[in-house]
Amino acid sequence: MTPNITERLAEFAATLPTGDLPHSAAMQARSLLLDSVACSLASDFGNETDAYARFAEAAGGAGDTTVIGSRAGLSPLGATLLNAYQITAATICDTYVPAHVHITPEIVPPALAIAERDGLDGASLLTAIAVGAEVAVRIADGINYAVAGPRGWHLPGIVGPVGAAAAVGRLTGLGPLEMRNAFGLAGSQSAGTWASWGTPTVKFHQSRGSASGLLAGLLAKTGFASSADIIGHADGGILVAYSDGGTPEKILDRLGTHWVFEDISLRVWPGGAPLQPALTAAFDLVTTHAPEPDAIGKVLIEVSQDVYDAHARFDRPQGTFEALLSFHIAVACALRDRRFWLTSVEPAALDDAGLRSFVAERVSMAVDPTFSRESGRVTVEMADGTRLASRVDGAKGTRRNPATLEDLRSKFMNCAAGRLSDADARDLLDIIAGIDGQSDLGRFFELLRRPVRRAA
């Protein structure tokens, strides 16, 4: 019998030899791990991270699994929930732009938990992250976000569990049939909608999705049976339940030879993923023209219609969470301060009268109907009437405009500042850069536990 779509994807996930990644895929997997750790170290900028830590401990319980940035461990479930939340907490994690989905929060934490529990090596961890991410983005492509998004589905909690299950399944040595069951068990937990937009529950989708993948992988390991084709089943398969049947051929297209997860973007700056093209344009403008902040008259930010609909409302953001979704704040900071970092959206910074008046008096937003989500234009009208404009059709950090290794190292050091000593931060950077050569991850996990709380 011809294997179905889920079986073929599961077989790929289960049988790819460890370490058998092309150079570019291995590079991307290392970048995703590095960026995940970086984002976690900055998670204290998220308003709800401390509350979430209390929740993770209550639900999952104490244990020995590493929580990034904490000396105290949690249970595998608790650590997975919390690490996933930490990666997404400060709104600086990865995005797979075509499906508007964050991938690393779901995939990396359960992979870390199992690698640590079972004393596995770096090559296994890296391959699991690559395979998990690849499974997630391929299903996201199959779902076809252009259909699922407008209906109301938010994909991290839908494709994330399956990718996470793939990562866990690899690390626990699932065979193809068990892997198919793991996918089924993950898909039975696929959930999360845009009803949560504007609340931190959108980040819960990532965290819960990560834990769902952990449950699925662990339960499949016991031999628990599940749907034979969770992706393509006509009665409640992922492609019909969360879309219109989707584009199944995309899921298997050049599987094993073309790595779609290399298209996952990393953010050089904080802020919602849709803000990144405009931020890129603003910083391009600063680099090229260095407009004097005091001489800036008007600032116009142009975006696609759907981005405008989702974000224009945050012109007067209340708190850090909303500020990270605010084009007005992000672009104003880029132009006025020539810097946009998490410190820019702390309450004191947001209360700055100069910033407030700059935003209120000079910054506006509009729609360019020809734009996609990946485009943005920033036009500055100087007091002397000069107009400076920059258009971007691929934000910094995307495949079209990749972040350099130096960009990512610089982001990592920014995130680690105040939490790790410079020496420890560089040590951790070096370990991650060569993670696939690490036969023992003990030092890696020890460094993940070492950060201190940032001084207030």
Partner 1 sequence: MPSFTAVVATGGRPGASDGQPALREGRIRNTGKSVPAAMEKHVTGSEPPTVADPIRQARGRDLTARPTSELAEFCSALTYDDIPPEVRDRVKGIILDTVASAIAGRRGDETGQIEALAGAIGGAPRATVLAGPRMSLAGAALLNGHQATAVALCDIHRPTQCHITPAVIPPALAIAEDRRLGGRAFLTAVTAGLEVVVRVGTGMRYPAMRARGWHSPGVIGPFGGAAAGASLMGLDPTRFRNALSLAGTQAAGTFAQWGTPTIRFHQSRAAYSGLLAALLAETGFKASPDVLTADHGGLFNLYSDGGDAEATVAGLGTEWTLRTISLRPWPAAAGIQTLITSLFALIDAHDLHPDAIETVEVGLSKTVHDMHGTQPWDTRPGALLSAPYVTGVVLHDRRCWFEQVAPERIASPDLDAFIRSRVSVAVDGAVAGPGAAVTVRMRDGRVFEDRRAHPRGDAADPLGRADIQEKFRMCSEGLIDPGAADAAIALIERLEELDDMARLAGLLGQPAK
Binding site for partner 1 (CB under 8 A): 48, 51-52, 54-55, 58-63, 65, 74-78, 151-154, 157, 184-185, 187-197, 199-201, 204-205, 208, 214-215, 218-219, 222-230, 233-237, 240-241
Closest separation between CB of residue 30 and partner 1, Å?
28
Per the structure block, which two tokens stand in for 161?
């569990």
Per the structure block, which two tokens stand in for 285?
């403008």
Task: State residue 387 phi and psi, 5-degree precision.
Answer: -110, 130
Task: State residue 65 phi and psi, 5-degree precision.
Answer: -80, 135
Q: Which is nearer to partner 1, 2 or 222 (by Cβ)?
A: 222
Helix or strand or coil: residue 271? coil
Q: Which is nearer to partner 1, 184 or 274 (by Cβ)?
A: 184
Closest separation between CB of residue 373 and partner 1, Å?
16
d(CA 63, CA 69): 15
Per the structure block, which two tokens stand in for 192?
């999360």
Q: Which is nearer to partner 1, 78 or 272 (by Cβ)?
A: 78
User: Bridge partners of 298?
Assistant: 381
d(CA 165, CA 189): 11
Q: Which is nearer to partner 1, 216 or 395 (by Cβ)?
A: 216
Maximal C-alpha separation, the chain: 73
Closest separation between CB of residue 284 and partner 1, Å?
33
C-beta of residue 75 within 8 angstroms of C-beta of residue 211: no
User: Bridge partners of 376?
Assistant: 392
C-beta of residue 74 within 8 angstroms of C-beta of residue 82: yes
Q: Which is nearer to partner 1, 191 or 300 (by Cβ)?
A: 191
Closest separation between CB of residue 198 and partner 1, Å?
8
Closest separation between CB of residue 201 and partner 1, Å?
4
Closest separation between CB of residue 175 and partner 1, Å?
16
Closest separation between CB of residue 237 and partner 1, Å?
5
Helix (H) or strand (E) holding 303: strand 296-303
d(CA 215, CA 377): 44
Closest separation between CB of residue 149 and partner 1, Å?
9
Residue 272 identity: G
Nearest to 251 by CA among 2, 32, 6, 3: 6
C-beta of residue 110 within 8 angstroms of C-beta of residue 189: no
Closest separation between CB of residue 227 and partner 1, Å?
4
Q: Which is nearer to partner 1, 87 or 113 (by Cβ)?
A: 113
Number of helices followed by number of strands (H, E) in the chain: 21, 6
Closest separation between CB of residue 445 and partner 1, Å?
16
| Contact residues for 421 (Cβ-Cβ < 8 A; gap 6+) | none
Q: Which is nearer to partner 1, 30 or 208 (by Cβ)?
A: 208
Rg from Cα positions in the chain: 21
Q: Which is nearer to partner 1, 76 or 277 (by Cβ)?
A: 76
Q: Which is nearer to partner 1, 85 or 259 (by Cβ)?
A: 85
Per the structure block, which two tokens stand in for 60?
């999952």
Residue 23, exposed/middle/buried by CB under 10 A (0-12, 13-18, 19+)?
Answer: exposed
Region for residue 73 given its phi and psi (left: phi exceeds 0; alpha: psi -120 to 50; beta: otherwise): beta
Question: Strand runs (DSSP E) across 58-160, as ranges?
Answer: 62-65, 74
Closest separation between CB of residue 82 and partner 1, Å?
12
Q: Which is nearer to partner 1, 20 or 309 (by Cβ)?
A: 309
Q: Which is nearer to partner 1, 20 or 50 (by Cβ)?
A: 50
Question: Strand runs (DSSP E) across 350-442, as ranges?
Answer: 363-367, 376-382, 387-392
